[in-house]
């Protein structure tokens, strides 16, 4: 499974591609940051993020895109920028028919470090260890993008089983039960 992780942000949008399956060693295929100038017009910044993400999608051809779910912070301006960058990632992937998964920061931290309250240094250290890198990716946005991809690879099998079970349940619920067959009112 090849996953593009996206840590959304207007100034620095972390991107990282990881390939592998749960229970096996993972491989980093690429990591970086799509940058925009804080002085630029919002529309131009969003276009720059789109162009950067499109290049990553063209180059790495992921099967899935994992994006950090926007969570409420005290700074509404930061949340809005993160949400806008997140929407660009969703749009780019959806336009290509690539499934998108949203993971909360605490889900990613728990998956990678074992604690949903881990700090950036702990996430970077575990990403380095799990991907057998010489040093943690810099800046932290890049390491966070790799952590998102790792989280998705590890959580996808369980998530897929849950989706299949829900679909089976919905199918069975929509079919008439055997007890009611043959009865007339």
Catalytic residues: 7, 68, 141
Cα 125 to Cα 137: distance, rounded to the nearest angstrom: 9
State how beta strands 27-35 and 64-68 pair. Answer: unpaired
CA dist., res. 82 & res. 87, Å (int): 9
Which residue shows structure tokens 């790792």? 150
CA 118 to chain centre: 18
Residue appearing with tokens 């009611």: 180
Smallest CA-to-CA distance from 26 within 145, 140, 137, 130 is with 130
**If DSSP states are collapsed to H, E and C, what string results for 33-101?**
EEECCCCCCHHHHHHHHHHHHHHHHHHHCCCEEEEECCCCCCCHHHHHHHHHHHHHHHHHHHHCCCCEE
């Amino acid at each position: 499974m090849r996953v593009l992780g996206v840590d959304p942000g207007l100034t620095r949008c972390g991107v990282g591609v990881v390939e592998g399956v749960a229970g096996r060693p993972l491989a980093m295929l690429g990591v970086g940051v799509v940058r925009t100038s804080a002085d630029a017009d919002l529309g131009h910044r969003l276009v720059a993020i789109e162009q950067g993400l499109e290049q990553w999608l063209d180059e790495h051809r992921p099967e899935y895109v994992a994006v950090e779910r926007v969570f409420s912070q005290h700074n509404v301006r930061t949340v809005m920028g993160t949400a806008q960058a997140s929407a660009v990632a969703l749009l780019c992937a959806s336009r290509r028919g690539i499934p998108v998964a949203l993971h909360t920061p605490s889900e990613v931290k728990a998956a990678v470090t074992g604690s949903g309250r881990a700090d950036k240094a702990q996430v970077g250290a575990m990403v380095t260890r799990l991907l057998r890198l010489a040093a943690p990716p810099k800046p932290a946005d890049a390491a966070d993008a790799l952590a998102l991809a790792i989280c998705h690879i590890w959580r996808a099998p369980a998530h897929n089983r849950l989706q299949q079970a829900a679909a089976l349940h919905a199918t069975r619920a929509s079919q008439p039960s055997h007890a009611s067959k043959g009865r007339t009112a």
